[in-house]
A and B are shown apart, each in its own frame.
Chain A
Amino acid sequence: MSFLAPLMLIGAAGLAIPLVIHLIGRRRARVVKFAALSFLIASRRRTSRRLQLRERALLIVRMLACIALPLAIAKPFTSCASRGPVVEGGPQAAVFVVDDSFTSGYRVGGRTLLERTTEQATRILQQLGPEAEVAVVRASEASPSPTELSREHLRVRDALLDLQPTARPADLRRALGRAAQLLAGSSHERRTVYLISPLTATALPPGEPPWADGGPGLEVIDVRGGSALPNLAVTELTVTPDPTAGNRGIAVTAQLANYSTVAVTGVMISLEVAGTTVARGQIDLAAGERKAKRFLATLPPELRSAAVAVAIPADALPIDDRRVAVARLRDELRALLVDGDPRADRHDDELFYLEAALRPGDRAEAGTVVTKILPADLDGVDLGQFDVVVLANVPALSAPRVAALSTWVRAGGGLLITSGDHVDPVAYDATMLPLLPRSLRDPIDTAWGAAPNERAARALHLTKWEADHPIFAPFAEDAPGLADARFAKAVLLGPITDSDESKVLARFTNGAAALVLARAGDGQVLLYTSTIDRDWNDLPLLPGFLPLFQESVRFLARRRAETATGTLLVGQSQVLPTLSLKKLEVRGPDGRGAVFEGARLDNRQVVRFTAAESPGIYRVIGTDGTGATADRDELAFAVNVDPRGSDLAPAPPSVLPVSGVAASAFGRPHTRRVELWHAIASALLVLLLIESILIQRRR
């Protein structure tokens, strides 16, 4: 310990004062000759020890107070090793670059990193002294920056203390550049940037340094305090309609990331749909691993869209432990059935059984809109209005029709081709090869030449189907509803065509292909080598028919339904159609938002919402010309935090500017002077208080 004014220690001789006062006080005690001393002694026996202790305590307190006064005036200080910044008072310019990104909401020991940041910044601000010109630059992405330095330290301090973690990631490079610009305009020779941040690598991506040699000095305060900051996060969320899960089905895929150096096991992950937890699961993640978790769910019956959230238990950084999306059911599956063998008797019609399977009981909620046409009507049809086209026993189409269909398939359409007596393999191979997974050959007829009692025995059966394929998902392993079907006739297939890839999903017992799937561009073609009615087989009479062709049509339609839900990050803008509304209000999860009306809305097709500063679901409320106000669920959108901010791995020192003191400032150890007189003066006040209490109790 050293002293700034050691001469003041002479005053420590005052230590003798209380001792003298104490001794004099004992002598100055009033003397009374007392007869009933025995009574006094008996009474005092219990209190004398306390009185003696009190007297001694008073003496000690007074002596300590007498030595504390000169000690405090002598201004003692000590030195200790420190890794913090070197701060000197006096005229200078300084800019605090403080990290207020959502990463700064990370809690360590019950305090957020931002609280540590503001504490460090206010301490340095105090040490800089009133002559320093200062400014605060927030490091969260796109946050506003000050335009000049200021000597209003109180205002700067209040601004620091008012900081809250934003929902944006940090952009330290931009903030450092802005700090350098501010300091460039200062006339002070000493110009310093105090960078106070957890210094994550994602906040300081490699790139051009914010200033070249000759720039301001840089003092770096790493508020992570040398500790690792492990974090689990939900980094992506994709919601798509999934017809395989029913007409209200959705597939939710969430990606989880373990940003730490240790593996985690049994992480609970839950799926919420419309505010209700509908599924839970567990997931193990190795160190640094990312893993996807897929959920299938259905939306509640009354909703066409709903908020979907995937969450893991809150950790030190809870903002990225939950991710939201808006799930929307696409419109009903639209199927165009081309009837190649229409009959007056419905039961003999080629499409009777398929139509019944796609709209069982002709129920509106079947989720499928069926349109029947004849092959000749194909020219007048807008294929873009349909998800699936079924060519049922259709004679070979003309080349232009095939071209139109092929274009539609490659754009994502689903095509089901079934065989029959009108399917001429030669004609098909001539014009329809662009649509076929395989070329066609003449059909095999097992009943040909057989006696009626032998036909059943010679019939073919389905076998070797791809049980893992979604089309066969509803069936058990032996699937009697399929396996029992008898096929008398089926078209044989030739070599592979020029489709992108094809796969036999089911075969007959003679090895011939029964179902062949081929991908063509973004679309798919499914070829069924037998009839869709009872002409060549009795499958339509068995329980396996309905699920097989329902799943087939849904599967073919999925490619068109898989339109990924757009992901909006905090700070990004959302374009909203005005829908001829008179007023359009966007309300965020925190209640804040924007209102578009009047000049902001009139004569516009779209408006742009740019105030998405909080993660969550943003409702859109519209008022139409009649004044009716309602939630426009179709416009609601979800906003999530940028997953870049979830990775708290530290940045290497090499990414910092090399001018000034930056090269050694990254945790640079130095000696720091700690003044002790404040503590001693405080102790002196406490001693005086104790002395007053002791005297009061002595009276």
Chain B
Amino acid sequence: MKLDPELLARLGSLPVKARVIVESALSGQHRARLHGSSVEFAEHKEYTYGDEIRHIDWKALGKLDRYYVKQYEQESQLTAYLVLDASGSMRFGERGLRKVEYAALALASLAYLVSQQQDKVGLLVVGPRGGDLHVPPRAKGTHLADLLSVLDQAIADDDPGDASPAHAIDRVGELARRRRALVVLASDLFDPDDLTLGALRRLRAQHHDVVVLHVLAPEELTLPYEGLTMFEGLEGDHKLLANPSAIRAEYIAKMTGFLDRVRTELGKAGVDYHLTPTDRPLDETLQAVIASRRSGRDRR
């Protein structure tokens, strides 16, 4: 079953939507968890047929001339930080969900999933003029409701600022200290100086797992407008009178170049990158994130 974002928008409160998304995404699956990659070494075991070749400890082979396989144990509790870019540019969206709403729903469903696993989940909302909203990571049952209400508040904010998510990501690095954490950023990454990409690279350097949901409206990918159009910016007072058909090809080329650059740079840094148009079903997005986390864990 696919969850059309437009249908989802008509559902009730955010917790309900999050649960629907998670249940839709996990329906038919035997066991699904959101993993971090922060697993710890447990012991050596002599290699037997059927063990993963890639888990062979080659240093031990050099010292002892015997094949040992490393065995790992997952960290006892996952700590997830959800970062929502609620700046002005995220308020865009002409049909169905606006980008901030889509991002909030995606993060809400992740929060729901994490809290279901009894893991800790925290939230940072970047963009409100009054300052960033921060919900520290907790695993308590009532914590999820607090977190979702903050998300609701972020969606309802009609006076967003133009802050970059970069400082929030840096702050997550500080909050997590030396403990590995799963950081999920939902943003359009419209950052004039690529500050956000730099912050994400730094976060990865601290060995945190980083997932980026690159949320873009379909209109931003195709520029489907016709006729003389006055474009007004969502951050700042920029206006532009243009004939979209005259500049469409060049715009799409620039947008494609931007996406390629983001994908390449984040891929090099080891960031789990997901291009997420707002017309994509949210359960698909959630499944994609879960699947990528699972495959990432399997590779280790």
Contact = CB atoms under 8 A, between A and B. Distances in A.
Interface of A: 25-26, 28-44, 46-48, 51, 698-699
B231 interface: yes
Contacts of A42: 254
Given A26-B241, A39-B258, A32 B251 contact: no
A39 B228 contact: no
A40 B231 contact: yes
B281 to A, nearest CB: 22
Contacts of B245: 699
Nearest to B221: A36
Interface of B: 88-92, 94, 99, 188, 190, 192, 217, 219-220, 223, 225-235, 238, 240-243, 245-247, 250-251, 254-255, 258
A29 B190 contact: no
Given A29-B230, A30-B230, A34-B232, A39 B242 contact: no
A31 B242 CA distance: 10
A17 B9 CA distance: 47
Contact of B228 (A34, A37, A48, A698): A698
A380 to B, nearest CB: 115
A38 B242 contact: no
Given A29-B241, A35-B220, A39-B255, A51 B231 contact: no
B241 A40 contact: no
Contact of A34 (B227, B233, B250, B254): B233
A28 B229 CA distance: 9
B232 A698 contact: no
B185 to A, nearest CB: 17
Given A30-B225, A32-B225, A41 B238 contact: yes
A691 to B, nearest CB: 16
Given A30-B225, A34-B92, A35-B89, A40 B234 contact: no
A21 B245 CA distance: 22
Contact of A40 (B227, B242, B258): B242
A426 B227 CA distance: 130
Contacts of A26: 241
A31 B230 contact: yes
A30 B230 CA distance: 6
A31 B238 contact: no
B241 A32 contact: no
Nearest to B236: A37
- Enumerate the 10 nearest inter-chain pairs by beta-carbon distance, A residue then B residue, closest first: A35-B92, A35-B89, A37-B233, A43-B250, A29-B228, A43-B247, A43-B251, A34-B231, A29-B230, A31-B230
Given A29-B241, A42-B254, A35 B99 contact: yes
Given A31-B232, A43-B247, 14 more contacts: A29-B227, A31-B229, A32-B229, A34-B92, A34-B220, A35-B92, A36-B220, A40-B242, A44-B242, A47-B250, A48-B242, A51-B242, A51-B243, A699-B226
Contacts of A698: 228, 243
Given A42-B254, A698-B228, A36 B242 contact: no
Given A43-B251, A43-B254, A699-B245, A32 B89 contact: no
Contacts of A39: 251, 254-255, 258
Q: Main SS of chain B's interface residues?
A: mixed
A33 B255 contact: no
Nearest to A52: B241
Contacts of B230: 29-32
B231 A37 contact: yes
Contacts of A51: 241-243, 246
Contacts of A34: 92, 219-220, 231-234
Contact of B247 (A29, A30, A47): A47
Q: Main SS of chain A's interface residues?
A: helix
B229 to A, nearest CB: 5
A31 B92 CA distance: 13
A40 B220 CA distance: 10
A41 B235 CA distance: 14
Contacts of B228: 25, 28-30, 698
A31 B94 CA distance: 12
A38 B257 CA distance: 14
Nearest to A26: B241
Nearest to B219: A34
Contacts of B92: 33-35
A43 B229 CA distance: 15
A397 B153 CA distance: 159
B9 to A, nearest CB: 18
Contacts of B254: 39, 42-43
B155 to A, nearest CB: 16
A692 B242 CA distance: 20
B47 to A, nearest CB: 53
A35 B232 contact: no
Nearest to B251: A43
23 contacts: A25-B228, A29-B230, A31-B230, A33-B231, A33-B232, A33-B233, A34-B219, A34-B231, A34-B232, A34-B234, A35-B92, A35-B188, A35-B234, A36-B89, A37-B233, A37-B240, A40-B242, A43-B250, A47-B247, A48-B242, A698-B228, A698-B243, A699-B226
Given A30-B230, A32-B230, A34-B231, A44 B247 contact: yes
A42 B238 CA distance: 13
Contact of A38 (B90, B190, B219, B227): B190
B225 A46 contact: no
A33 B160 CA distance: 14
Given A32-B229, A35-B99, A36-B255, A46 B217 contact: no
A30 B229 contact: yes
A27 to B, nearest CB: 9
Contacts of B242: 40, 44, 47-48, 51
Given A29-B230, A30-B225, A43-B251, A35 B243 contact: no
Contacts of A31: 229-230, 232
A111 B204 CA distance: 88
Contacts of B220: 34-36
A329 B91 CA distance: 113
B251 A40 contact: yes
A699 B228 CA distance: 8
A41 B240 contact: yes
Contacts of B243: 47, 51, 698-699
B99 to A, nearest CB: 7
Given A40-B240, A44-B240, A44-B247, A35 B190 contact: yes
